Amino acid sequence: MVEVRAQRDLRDGRSPTSSGTTSKPLADDDVPAWWQRLGLPGLFDVHVHFLPPNIEAAVWRQFDHAGPKIGREWPIRYRGTQDERVERLRALGVRRFSALPYAHKPGVAAYLNDWAAAFAAEVPACLLSATFYPEPGVGEQVDRLVRDGVEVFKLHTQVGEFRLDDALLEPAWDRLEQSGTPIVLHVGSGPVGNEFTGPEHLGRLLARHPRLRVIVAHLGAPEYAAFLALAEEYDDTWLDTTMVFTDFFDDAGAFPDELLPRLAALGDKVLLGSDFPTIPYPYAHQLESLERLHDRHPSLDEAWLRRVCWHNAVRLFGEPPVT
């Protein structure tokens, strides 16, 4: 098992199976053929990070030193320049993706959002992404962002150390319930939980704002069952696959077999997410890990993959611009 994993880690751009002996996307070079075989026009990845270079460098240092909110060794695979990473996504066929800045303290959201707006203006494949934080004026700020056409928000309660039902956030939730703008929420307790993570936080928010269009990052790991229950209860609670089912994640707390039928039943609300570029394995491994779910449950088949990797996100965000 150790050898198998070491071999997999050695693989990067080159595939030992690119002669066509297998249909599994074992290496990044195989990814375009993989989605073409599914009959898709490309991939739609709702969970990608691009941050201002100085902030990005600070975040990466946390990963490099296995900081307290990371909790384990986490060698970042895609360390190129931002231009190189945009090109890498293009080469993979990721036709639409997010940037997902997130504020870790008061006073930084506006800076992150200005940067993300400039980035999206330069990179048409990127969704206009923004964040906010419980601080005075957040209601007006979110209203302005919605009117400016923000397509997706991101909040990270573990890093930001705030509660989703913080009273300061109320006007922002009211506005977002009205606009229907999707919000990617990292509120599950992986990789390291704290008092601001866990399904009860989202449960309390949705009880007050049931129409919020929420995307639960990482399928809510590790509290999968409780987050799946929220997606079952609330029409506009969605889930992203980010890092779940990969070998790396399985080491820390695998998605339980008994939940797979419920994951299949939620097939219209599950979205491809990857966490590119801060992943410790090739991008292709996320797709491979989704494809091999079929071995564990028959309904997690190619039709399910087509919905997850493209159609659900198009329903949520609209058709990508022609590029």
Residues that bind Zn ion (CB under 5 A): 275
Considering the complex, what minimum distance in angstroms separates the CB of residue 185 from Zn ion? 11
- Residue 202: closest CA among 174, 237, 170: 237
- Residue 240: closest CA among 130, 163, 316: 316
Q: CB-wise, 206 or 243, nearer to Zn ion?
A: 243
Q: Give just the sign of the alpha carbon dihedral 117, 44, 143, 168.
A: negative
Q: Give just the sign of the alpha carbon dihedral 136, 140, 144, 150.
A: positive
Report residue 67 CA to chain centroid gap: 21
Residues with Cβ < 8 Å from 17, sequence gap 6 or more? 24, 26, 30
Q: CB-wise, 30 or 223, nearer to Zn ion?
A: 223
Q: Are strands 129-130 and 152-156 parallel, antiparallel or unpaired?
A: parallel
**What are the φ and ψ backbone dihedral angles of 110, each rounded to 5 degrees?**
-60, -40
Considering the complex, what minimum distance in angstroms separates the CB of residue 218 from Zn ion? 8
Q: CB-wise, 46 or 300, nearer to Zn ion?
A: 46
What residue type is 250 in one-letter code?
D
Q: CB-wise, 175 or 186, nearer to Zn ion?
A: 186
Contact 27, 282 (CB under 8 A): yes
Q: Alpha-carbon distance 211 to 38, whole Å?
A: 33
What residue type is 200 in one-letter code?
E
Q: CB-wise, 45 or 291, nearer to Zn ion?
A: 45
Considering the complex, what minimum distance in angstroms separates the CB of residue 259 from Zn ion? 22
Considering the complex, what minimum distance in angstroms separates the CB of residue 249 from Zn ion? 13
**What are the φ and ψ backbone dihedral angles of 231, each rounded to 5 degrees?**
-65, -30
The residue sitting closest to Zn ion, measured at its beta carbon, is: 275
Q: Alpha-carbon distance 248 to 130, whole Å?
A: 28
Residues with Cβ < 8 Å from 167, sequence gap 6 or more? none
Considering the complex, what minimum distance in angstroms separates the CB of residue 80 from Zn ion? 18
Q: CB-wise, 151 or 275, nearer to Zn ion?
A: 275
Q: Alpha-carbon distance 305 to 300, whole Å?
A: 7
Q: CB-wise, 217 or 230, nearer to Zn ion?
A: 217
Considering the complex, what minimum distance in angstroms separates the CB of residue 47 from Zn ion? 6
Q: CB-wise, 88 or 144, nearer to Zn ion?
A: 88
Considering the complex, what minimum distance in angstroms separates the CB of residue 49 from Zn ion? 6
